[in-house]
Amino acid sequence: MIPKLQLNYSPNKLSTSKTNKDSIEIDLDTTSLFVTNRYSGKDLHEKGLWLNSGIEYENRSLNGKKFGYEIGQIFRVDKINQFSSNSGLNGNNSDLLISSFLILKIFLN
């Protein structure tokens, strides 16, 4: 089991660039849990002070089977409301992210 913590800070300043021209899609998933900016483009940046936290577990057996899971959540100091309500990221706490996988090595002859 691997605990993960990442503390991030970005000043809460107004952007002087054009807003949201290429930062359209924002989703909370396992690939975006520990990134420093969840906006997909370069015109907007995530603001404030927040903690990305999670636990990762992986089990490998001798016969090639693998099972694992990851649980994570984002905690913000200030409620800035910079994300849409359906993104899972809005508010002081993000939605709880739970992901799992199972890999079975089955070979057919």
pLDDT, tens digit, 9 for 90 and up, residues 100-109: 999 987 765 5
The domain limits of the chain are 2-103
pLDDT of residue 14: 56
pLDDT of residue 5: 94
27-31: Cβ within 8 A, 24+ apart: 27/87, 27/88, 28/74, 28/87, 28/88, 28/89, 28/94, 28/95, 28/97, 29/97, 29/99, 30/70, 30/72, 30/97, 30/99
